[in-house]
Amino acid sequence: MYDVVVIGAGVIGASIFRELTKYNLKVVVLEKEIDVAMGTSRANSAIIHAGYDPEEGTLMAKYNVWGSELFEELCKDLSVPYKKNGSLVLGFNDEDMITLEALYKNGNKNGVKGLALLSREETIKKEPNLSEKVRGALFAPTGAIVGPFEYTIALIENGVMNGGEARTSSEVIAIDKKEDVFTLTLKDKTKLECSYVINAAGVYADKVHNMICEETYRIMPRRGQYYVMDKSQGDIAAHTLFQCPSKKGKGVLVTPTVHGNLLVGPNSEDIEDKEDLSVTNEGLDAIKDAAKRTTDKINYRETIRSFSGLRALSDREDFIIEEDKKVKGFIDAAGMKSPGLSAAPAIALGVVDLLQKKGLKACLKATFNPKREQIRFMELPQEEKQALIKKDHRYGRIICRCENVTEGEIVDSIKRPVGATTVDAVKRRCRPGMGRCQGGFCGPRVQEILARELHLELQDIVLDRDHAYILTGKTK
């Protein structure tokens, strides 16, 4: 019997899960995929918004500003790449300049610190590669960039280190409730019992909700496509560069990533299929076109990957963070469109608070350890590198030549709690294959290391999910 079951190991579920492991509770997070951070959390803009955008008084405004304040410390505790690079919303015409002023005022109401309206000169001084046409900008010094899947994975790992349980390949197919006890049935027919259910199932949150509750909202995925550029383009922008939100939409952003690449996107397409992560020529061309307003300095020949992510929009305006009116103990944390990632740490606090208000008895544990370490070899000082290779020679062998990832780090990513079992899971944890050759050289080596460490045959290792087999068998 669990106190709380969290459904969904994306950034929202992971944040709530880890927060719950601070207490004397029996907690489990269930993920239908083979790994955590497999939905929206693995494909998004990787940005911590300052919080000037959402309308004052909304949950989005409250949790965004609060969450963004919590991020830096959390990332430090969890060894997650994070950089407070600041963001600029750019104005190109009179209408934009009015919008910037409105955003500035809204941001101040929301409690965003340090906002400033910049002149054209001040803007160009900050970002010399901007288009000539820029007229001014809203500067938000608290805007930041983060590794979103690294962050989600770290939360889950830390939760497990603190006594929580995380189960992957565990899709919930039915939820029942008798008296005060929920019974969850998994795809493999396993049953779990608990007192509270947190629904953080991302684009499938409506489906999970409707397993036991009456329909109160719908999730309609909105697809966004992106370009990832080689590190050669990484210093085109230092800040995250937004365009003014207008009637036509939010506009595309151009931003450096925490790893030194440049990210350009997203577009915005409402789609039906909750698994449709395809990219299209039209989508990518539209992004390229739109990004030209911001800067014409990007060399798209240096693209190393394009990808799509789905944002879990609901038919409501705001985040859905509430207990179901009829099914007591069933709590939704859903409709997490942007700024869902930025808001996640605060949402976790909010949900735990809500649980306590709804009767969950939770005492803080003295043993909770907020720290989680991860070695990133190339970032170590020289002497530590030398010492580490001496201790474990596998840190002396580079497997990924583009990102300089060592065998030691790859083995570590497999051995950790909720360790990697797929080639992409290793990639999300320590980056082999993230670089310009996209795993052409290191993919087979990573696969070999996985097979060796997990005692499997080479052909049993999949790319990213069940049935995504890489090899069909031996040649002879």
Work out whether 204 is an interface residue with another protein (CB under 8 A).
no
CA dist., res. 418 & res. 160, Å (int): 8
Q: Say how many C-beta atoms besides its own lie within 10 A of residue 310's C-beta.
A: 24
CA dist., res. 253 & res. 88, Å (int): 10
CA dist., res. 377 & res. 80, Å (int): 14
Identified binder of another protein from the candidate list 98, 116, 456, 468, rule CB under 8 A? 468
Region from 56-64, 208-216, 272-280, 359-367 binding another protein, contact rule CB under 8 A: 272-280
Q: Which residue has the tokens 């795809």?
A: 187
Which one of 49, 209, 239, 259 is the catalytic residue?
49
Residues 319-378 that bind another protein (CB under 8 A): 378
Identified binder of another protein from the candidate list 178, 189, 248, 301, rule CB under 8 A? 301
Residues 131-160 that bind another protein (CB under 8 A): none
Work out whether 41 is an interface residue with another protein (CB under 8 A).
no
Residue 170: left if φ>0, alpha if ψ -120 to 50, beta else—which one? beta
Considering the complex, state which of residue 245 and residue 396 has its C-beta at the smaller distance from another protein: 396
Q: Torsions phi, psi of 398, nearest 5?
A: -80, 125
Region from 146-154, 186-194, 367-375, 401-409 binding another protein, contact rule CB under 8 A: 401-409
Residues 433-462 that bind another protein (CB under 8 A): 436-441, 443-444, 448, 458-459, 462
Secondary structure (DSSP) of 130-185: S-TT--EEEEETT-EEE-HHHHHHHHHHHHHHTT-EEESS--EEEEEEETTEEEEE
What mask, x for binding another protein by CB under 8 A, covers residues 212 to 231? ----------------x---
Identified binder of another protein from the candidate list 389, 417, 453, 454, rule CB under 8 A? 389
Would residue 239 show up in a list of annotated catalytic residues for this protein? no
Residue 363: left if φ>0, alpha if ψ -120 to 50, beta else—which one? beta
Work out whether 292 is an interface residue with another protein (CB under 8 A).
no
Identified binder of another protein from the candidate list 126, 385, 453, 454, rule CB under 8 A? 385
Q: How far is the CB of 15 from another protein (least distance, A)?
A: 27
283: helix, strand or coil:
helix
Identified binder of another protein from the candidate list 113, 135, 365, 394, rule CB under 8 A? 394
Q: List the Cα angle 75/6/351 in 5-degree steps.
A: 65
Number of chain positions touching another protein (CB under 8 A): 56
CA dist., res. 227 & res. 372, Å (int): 31
Q: Which residue has the tokens 């990639």?
A: 427
Work out whether 390 is an interface residue with another protein (CB under 8 A).
yes
Q: Which residues pair with 462 in a beta bridge?
A: 469
Q: Which positions are catalytic? A: 49
Binding site for another protein (CB under 8 A): 228, 232, 275, 277-281, 284, 301, 303-307, 378, 382, 385-386, 389-390, 393-398, 401-402, 404, 436-441, 443-444, 448, 458-459, 462-476
